[in-house]
Structure 1
Amino acid sequence: MTTVLLAFPLCSLWTVAAVLGAPPSSYLLAWFGIVLVVVDLRHHRLPDALTLPLAAGLLLLEFHRLGAAVLAGVVFGGAHLAVRRFRPALMGGGDVKLAFGLGVPLALPSLLPAAILSSAVTLALAALRRARTVPHGPGLLAATWALTTL
């Protein structure tokens, strides 16, 4: 049953990406993103067994622009690391590691919109769940997929 429930959003994201002619990183983000969102919502944890292969795969797919991809990953991850460092209650370590990988497929001008959109998705998730604390991973993944695909 879980496989069927995960297959529907994955097929939906892949269909949108195919219609829009999205880059290969969009498909990888959808695949890992669905699983990471479910894990983060259920357990408030982003396991290294998923985040590190995602980052490595995104880096391989962006090899043609390696310098810019690494710089974007360091800037996006570094900004999240700064938030974690100064306000640890606001962000978990898994979110920081995820942000380093998710910065890779984004162009430098897209990093600020990604941060704003991911925060908006996290706030919307908090409103929907009527909770004061919600994971930030789903917001990061949704924003990165949207900006990579659209």
Structure 2
Amino acid sequence: MLRGIKTLHVRMQRHCENGEAIAKFLRSHAKVDKVYWCGFEDHPNHAIAREQMRGFGGMISFTLKNDDIDAAKKVLSNTHLFSLAESLGGVESLIGHPASMTHASIPREERLKNGLTDSLIRLSVGIEDIDDLISDLNTAIG
């Protein structure tokens, strides 16, 4: 634990930098509909995050324009650096699909009422090279 604490600030800095770069990349992608990241000024909790955080982290969710569950699953199966996992991870980048993983037992209508669409994808952005991560997502999204 002591060894880990010594590098925590460096890991968190990279996590935040990578998260911001990926959020901006996703927001500009033609096949992405919405991007949920508290670092965007139009995020409903941006003001709170700005008061509580130095950086906005690398926890990001996004939806695809066609909101198709099969398209979302295709993205999940085509990443090479983002590992499919329900965890929010450590230093490695992870990707998850709540509709088929963590929230699969909730009826679709109930999920949709709460904004959990079929194409919602969650990312926990790690500290890998940002160009590699963006390239991986770009290829997976198509």
TM-score normalised by L of structure 2: 0.29
Q: Tell which structure's C-alpha radius of gyration is larger.
A: 2
User: Which structure has greater strand proportion?
Assistant: 2
User: Which structure has greater helix proportion?
Assistant: 1
TM-score normalised by L of structure 1: 0.28
